[in-house]
């Protein structure tokens, strides 16, 4: 290895390299080692050629890492304040950053191995006169060339650090992105890129960020620069995840409630349906808008009830129920007081005329659209209860055996059905859940203890990855493989499988690479 490597914690304190638990990081460092060598005589792929000329290898390079995530429970209820349980994946994104030497007209240069093209931008366009442009202007800047729209996830870190932390970038930057987290699978490929980039850029500029702040800044990148209305669970998991544990996050706004150890007798897998998922898709956006419409209407219902009880005239502002979070409403109260008093659907124009606002800064209401309200608003109420129940059952002693797993599996299936009722299902994810249930039922019919117990769609839905629960060990693995093989044969598609987990960006910290000087 031609580099001297120093590892630092997120707070800047030196740490032991300890990279044995990160084989993907070792592979990334080997990749950088190859780029630091002279090119061979053969033809080189365009992205590798661009990466080879990206860095001055005599100067230090900062490397950060952030994993994708498997949504075990909680999913789309995060923006309504639910508790969520998230597992960081073994697959991760690595980002290497180098500051340029001082000089006139500093530039931002980005190369992504996934996208195969290089991007370059004068920093005076992003920071004219040293001051950051508005988020809308930054969004337009990265969308100027549709083929480079992916750069918003990377370059957005500079815009957000400048606006939120007062960072000033007086030197150019080179950024290399290499991610093993596949896109369109619902496993937070975007959050992995955002968190790894933000961590590396901040470290290169001496900006200290704790894990929570890192995640919130990256959510700002996705909401305000990319323009995708995501909650914060993806970025929190990429930043604060721990290996072999589920991050328990209460999204009000973002409050870590600990890490739930995954019991040794059970295992979670992820399996890709082959149906592309997008957080920015209209289905996810419509469901989110509908949920916030439901919050606004239910709050008006509660205010009207209170006014009738008090005999008041109804003047004054309408306070939101649940402190502004649907997840704070108990399912029994929802069913008794609100559910039947919310419309099934409402047009954007009618809502805006009657209520004015839906209290969600990340989305807007289209007057020409009709939105489902009752079902999307009820989902986070019930999902939050399911997630709390799941966490408690998960922590029960292993002597619960099959009964414990049956309860966990049923909670996952309930969550999956609720997604479908919201309009966020897909035939591929539904079929995977059915195959898991068929595998379970076949074992019962044979008089055997099942090896798989439940499954659910993950993330924003409408395709993507299914999370599967089963017993750990060869029996569970064999049953899981039978499901994957049946799905592959039926769909003529080889699904991506996710196994294992790894630490988040905060625990990883960052690496500083300096090329070794040749011996005299």
Range 315-341 burial, b when 16+ CB lie within 10 A, else e: eeebebbbebbbbbbeeeebeebbbee
Residues 240 and 191 sit within 8 Å (Cβ to Cβ): no
Rounded distance between C-alpha atoms, residue 332 and residue 385, angstroms: 11
> Residue 184: left (phi > 0), alpha (psi -120 to 50), or beta?
left
Residue 391 DSSP one-character state: H
Distance CA 324, CA 433 (A): 33
Q: 370: which residues sit within 8 A by CB, 6+ positions away?
A: 345, 346, 347, 348
- Measured CA to CA, the distance from residue 256 to residue 282 in angstroms comes to 29
Alpha-helical (H) ranges within 143-210 are 152-165, 189-204
Pairing relationship of beta strands 255-261 and 465-471 according to DSSP bridges? unpaired
Helix, strand and coil content of the chain, in percent to the nearest 5, comes to: 45, 20, 35
Looking at the DSSP bridge assignments, the partners of residue 84 are 249
Q: Phi, psi (5° rounding) for residue 286? A: -65, -40
H/E element holding 177?
strand 173-179
455: left (phi over 0), alpha (psi -120 to 50) or beta: beta
Contact 342, 373 (CB under 8 A): yes
DSSP β-bridge partners for residue 85: 73, 248
Q: How far apart are the first and last CA of the chain?
A: 18
Question: Do 86 and 246 touch, CB atoms closer than 8 A?
Answer: yes
Rounded-to-integer distance, Cα 332 and Cα 297, Å: 18
DSSP state of 336: I
Sign of CA dihedral 346, 347, 353, 356: positive
- The C-alpha atoms of residue 301 and residue 40 are separated, in whole angstroms, by 71
Residue 234 annotated among the catalytic residues of the structure: yes
Whether the Cβ atoms of residue 62 and residue 458 lie closer than 8 Å to each other: no
Q: Beta-carbon neighbour count of residue 243 at 10 Å?
A: 17
Residue of 234, 272, 283, 360 marked active site: 234
Which residues are identified as catalytic?
A: 234
């Amino acid at each position: 290895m031609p580099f001297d490597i120093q590892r630092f914690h997120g707070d800047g304190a030196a740490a032991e390299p300890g990279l044995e638990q990160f084989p993907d990081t070792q592979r990334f460092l080997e990749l950088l080692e190859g780029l630091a060598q002279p090119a061979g005589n053969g033809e080189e792929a365009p992205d590798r050629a661009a990466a080879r000329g990206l860095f001055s290898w005599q100067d230090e390079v900062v490397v950060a890492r952030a994993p994708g995530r498997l949504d075990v429970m909680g999913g789309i209820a995060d923006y309504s304040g639910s508790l969520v349980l998230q597992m960081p994946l073994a697959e991760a994104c690595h980002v290497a950053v180098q500051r340029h030497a001082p000089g006139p007209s500093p530039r931002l240069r980005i190369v992504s191995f996934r996208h195969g093209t290089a991007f370059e931008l004068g920093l005076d366009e992003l920071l004219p006169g040293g001051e950051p442009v508005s988020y809308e202007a930054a969004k337009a800047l990265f969308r100027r060339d549709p083929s480079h729209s992916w750069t918003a996830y990377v370059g957005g870190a500079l815009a957000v650090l400048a606006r939120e932390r007062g960072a000033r970038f007086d030197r150019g930057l080179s950024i290399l992105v290499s991610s093993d987290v596949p896109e369109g699978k619902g496993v937070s490929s975007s959050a992995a890129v955002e968190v790894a980039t933000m961590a590396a850029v901040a470290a290169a500029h001496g900006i200290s960020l704790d894990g929570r702040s890192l995640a919130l800044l990256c959510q700002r990148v996705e909401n305000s620069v990319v323009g995708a209305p995501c909650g914060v669970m993806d970025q929190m998991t990429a930043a604060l995840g721990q290996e072999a544990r589920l991050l328990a996050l209460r999204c009000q706004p973002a409050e870590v409630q600990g890490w739930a150890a995954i019991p040794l007798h059970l295992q979670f897998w992820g399996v890709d349906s082959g149906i592309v998922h997008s957080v920015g898709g209209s289905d996810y956006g419509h469901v989110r808008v509908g949920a916030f419409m439901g919050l606004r209407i239910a709050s008006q219902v509660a205010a009207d009830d209170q006014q009738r009880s008090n005999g008041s005239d109804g003047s004054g502002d309408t306070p939101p129920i649940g402190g502004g979070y649907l997840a704070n409403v108990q399912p029994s109260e929802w069913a008794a007081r609100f559910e039947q008093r919310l419309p099934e659907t409402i047009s954007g124009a009618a809502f805006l005329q009657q209520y004015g606002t839906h209290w969600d800064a990340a989305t807007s209401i289209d007057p020409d659209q009709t939105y489902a309200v009752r079902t999307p608003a009820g989902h986070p109420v019930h999902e939050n209860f399911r997630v709390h129940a799941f966490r408690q059952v998960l922590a029960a002693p292993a002597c619960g055996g099959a009964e414990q797993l049956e309860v966990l599996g049923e909670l996952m299936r309930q969550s999956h059905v609720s997604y479908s009722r919201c309009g966020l299902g897909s035939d591929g994810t539904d079929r995977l859940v059915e195959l898991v249930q068929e595998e379970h039922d076949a074992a019962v019919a044979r008089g055997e203890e099942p090896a798989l117990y439940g499954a659910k769609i993950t993330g924003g839905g409408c395709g993507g990855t299914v999370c599967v629960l089963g017993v750990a060990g060869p029996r569970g693995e064999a049953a899981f493989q039978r499901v994957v093989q049946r799905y592959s044969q039926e769909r003529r598609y080889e699904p991506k499988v996710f196994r294992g987990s790894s630490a988040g960006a905060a625990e990883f910290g960052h690496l500083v690479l300096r090329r070794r000087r040749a011996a005299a």
